Amino acid sequence: MAGRSPVKANDGQMAALETLAGSRDRGEADRARAILLTLKGWTSARIAEVFCVREDTVRFWRGDFARGGVEAMKASIYAGPPPVKTEAALRVVTPLLEAPVADRPNWTIPRLIAEIKAKERITIGRSQLSKALRKKSSGGGGPGTR
């Protein structure tokens, strides 16, 4: 179907899309920007080229917006198994890294992994522990720990 998209937005939705377009989550921001460009009359092909996605992807975003509004543009967390290892690791690591820097040992990722294994009896990989620390933004990720 060539021509103008039937997607419409009211003033409240426009404001919410503008806010979402500034999101730190690139997917959210791109979806919101694509809808804003659609409302300005851009074609699927032109938007797809700008965001380096397929035209069908732009159409899916438009359909999601038409059905679910701005909420449908937001990133969603998919159900899955609970992060058992991550939670166990953070139970051990958080108090260790929250201690004042002057009063604590130098905790490296390998030392933290060994401590987690000793206390929780689980094995966690370096990358998984690093991701957990960054996501949790624990005391282990700040400049005061270097």
Domain boundary assignment for the chain: 11-73, 84-136
- Position 49 scores a pLDDT of 95
Q: Can you tell me the distance from the alpha carbon of 124 to that of 133, in angstroms, rounded to the nearest whole number?
A: 12
Q: Quick one: tokens of 111?
A: 């030392």
Q: Is the pLDDT of residue 57 over 60?
A: yes
Q: What is the DSSP letter of 142?
A: S
Q: What angle do CA 99, 103, 104 make, to 5 degrees?
A: 65
Judge whether 6 and 34 are in contact, CB under 8 Å: no
Judge whether 2 and 26 are in contact, CB under 8 Å: no
Judge whether 102 and 73 are in contact, CB under 8 Å: no
List CB contacts of 76: < 8 A, sequence separation 6 or more.
none
Judge whether 93 and 85 are in contact, CB under 8 Å: no
- The mean predicted confidence, pLDDT, of the chain is 85
List CB contacts of 104: < 8 A, sequence separation 6 or more.
96, 97
**pLDDT tens-digit profile of 81-95?**
888 999 999 999 999
Against a cut of 0.85, is the pTM above it? no
- Position 25 scores a pLDDT of 87
